[in-house]
Structures are given as structure tokens and as C-alpha cells.
Amino acid sequence: MEAELANRAIKKGKMEKAEKRTKMKGKNKPTRRQRKKQQNIIEERKPSIKASIREEQRDKLERKKRELAKVEDTVPRALHRFYK
């Protein structure tokens, strides 16, 4: 009987403790907030980054075309790589 009362008291204490806890765990964790803010920054910068990548690719293609134009016309196409 005494053990049963002790168990009930322990169980009651655990239930009260469980009721005090918030139901939504992890919604306002600092790392989660930080990740969301960082994601917003990345989303804002994405168009400018894509534009710079496109511009770099365009410049690279133009440089390649200029290099090919520098090579003499008498040289076969297979040997163009040696004229860099």
C-alpha cells in the first residue's frame, strides 16, 4: 500500500512536469532561426551570382574563340592545342 502511494506521487509529479513542457519543440531554436536567415540571404544573392557565372562563361568562350583565331590557318585543327 505504501509503495503504491509512492508510485502514484511519482507518477503525478512526472505528469505535472510533462504538462509544463511546450508542445511545439524546436520551433524557435537558435540554429533553426540562423539557418532561415542565411537561406534568405542566399536567395537574395542568387540572381546576381547566376548573372556573374553567365558572364564568366561568355568571357571564357570569347577568349577561346580569340585563341583559335590567333592560330595559323595552315595548321590542322588537331594540332591547335599545341599553339597555346
Whole-number Å distance between alpha carbons of 27 and 33: 9
Q: What is the pLDDT of residues 39-61, one digit of tens each?
A: 888 788 888 889 999 999 999 99
Mean of pLDDT values over 31-46: 82
Query: What pTM, to 2 d.p., does this model score?
Result: 0.39
Mean of pLDDT values over 2-27: 79
What is the four-CA torsion angle of 72, 80, 75, 58, rounded to 10 degrees?
-40
The confidence score (pLDDT) of residue 84 equals 63
User: Which residues touch 71 (CB under 8 Å, ≥6 apart)?
Assistant: 80, 83
Largest CA distance in the chain: 107
The confidence score (pLDDT) of residue 26 equals 67
CA 3 to centroid of chain Cα atoms: 55
